[in-house]
């Protein structure tokens, strides 16, 4: 019953956030004030120019105001690091006292095996954050899949209470070849966040079937900082790296990060 209610709520939000309301500028202004949204870096700062709420929520940044870091690996999104660490025995930390399986997260053993003894980085996007997703480094797309699942919230509070949260929610996994080996970007859906786009194939969720769907991938090569996708409403990105990746700078749990830079 709970999941049916979450699904209904998500479909309702999907519809409502695309309505071209006459009062949309006032609604957006209320949201900006309530969540302290930083509009100074937005490419379009006139709220009246947004067709609907989702257009505002997936707004583009003026990247001239966001200098690219020289680090080889940068944050793909604006958000806060929820957890990070090494992958041991197919296990990642979800929250204090809670772990989950990498194989369950990626959908199968053949996807997870390359990352044993590698590292991971879980970044939570709050409602106030910018919601386009960028490349953490140069990468060639190897494969991509959509994994069906539930629609729990991915808030820090929920992560502390729902077992296996990130491996249970709907998600899109894109694997790339980078300069130091393979890395995967896991775009986790949630309540109100069932629509996830990539630049090579839009609207990978939702789908009607309940089976893992592997996609034919075109010859896609994306540079560090280049847009690779977006959330329609907020969620979580989990980066998974093969063993040997090195990161410049210091970061830890609860550290805020910005797309194209580490902090």
Locate the domains of the chain by residue range: 2-57, 68-257
Taking the C-alpha atoms of residue 103 and residue 45, their distance in angstroms, rounded to an integer, is 42
Which of 145, 248, 231 is CA-nearest to residue 192?
A: 231
pLDDT of residue 2: 55
pTM for the whole thing? 0.89
Q: What is the pLDDT of residue 10?
A: 54
Using CA atoms, how far apart are residues 88 and 203, in angstroms rounded to an integer? 33
pLDDT digits (tens, 9 = 90+) for 6-31: 454 556 555 556 667 778 899 999 99
Residue with tokens 């949204």: 37
Q: Highest-confidence range of 72-81, 109-118, 162-171, 186-195, by mean pLDDT? A: 109-118
Catalytic residue positions, numbered: 78, 134, 235
Average pLDDT over residues 28-41: 93
What pLDDT was estimated at residue 263? 44
Contact by Cβ (8 Å): 239, 245? no
Cα gap 245→175, rounded to integer Å:
15
Q: Give yes or no for residue 3 having a pLDDT over 70.
A: no
Q: Is the pLDDT at 250 greater than 80, yes or no? A: no
Quick one: pLDDT at residue 57? 86
- The pLDDT tens digits for 46-98 are 999 999 888 898 899 998 888 888 888 899 999 999 998 899 999 998 987 78
Nearest to 126 by CA among 25, 218, 34: 34
- pLDDT value at position 210? 74
Contact 108, 174 (CB under 8 A): no
Residue 9 or residue 188, greater confidence: 188
Gap between the Cα atoms of 182 and 173, Å rounded: 13
d(CA 9, CA 212): 23
Q: How far apart (Å, rounded) are the C-alpha atoms in residues 149 and 177?
A: 26
Of 209 and 46, the structure prediction assigns the larger pLDDT to 46
Cβ pair 150, 9 in contact under 8 A: no
Task: Check residue 8 and give its pLDDT.
Answer: 47
């Amino acid at each position: 019953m709970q999941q049916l209610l979450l699904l209904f709520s998500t479909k309702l939000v999907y519809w409502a956030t695309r309505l071209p309301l006459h009062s949309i500028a006032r609604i957006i202004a209320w949201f900006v004030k309530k969540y302290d949204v930083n509009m100074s870096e937005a490419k379009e700062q006139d709220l009246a120019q947004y067709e609907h709420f989702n257009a505002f929520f997936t707004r583009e940044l003026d990247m001239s105001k966001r200098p690219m870091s020289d680090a080889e690996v940068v944050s793909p999104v604006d958000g806060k690091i929820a957890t990070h660490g090494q992958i041991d025995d197919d296990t990642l930390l979800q929250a204090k006292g809670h772990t989950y399986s990498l194989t369950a997260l990626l959908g199968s053993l053949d996807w997870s095996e390359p990352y044993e003894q590698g590292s991971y980085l879980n970044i939570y996007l709050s409602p106030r954050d910018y919601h386009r997703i960028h490349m953490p480094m140069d990468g060639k797309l190897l494969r991509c899949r959509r994994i069906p699942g539930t629609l729990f919230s991915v808030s820090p509070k929920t992560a502390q209470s729902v077992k296996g949260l990130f491996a249970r929610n709907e998600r899109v996994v894109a694997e790339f070849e980078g300069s130091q080996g393979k890395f995967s970007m896991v775009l986790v859906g949630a309540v109100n966040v069932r629509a996830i786009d990539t630049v090579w194939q839009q609207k990978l969720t939702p789908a009607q079937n309940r089976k893992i769907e592997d996609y034919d991938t075109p010859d896609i090569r994306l540079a560090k900082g280049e847009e690779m996708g977006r959330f329609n409403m907020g969620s979580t990105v989990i980066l998974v790296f093969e063993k040997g990746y090195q990161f410049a700078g210091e970061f830890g749990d609860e550290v805020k990060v910005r797309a194209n830079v580490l902090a």
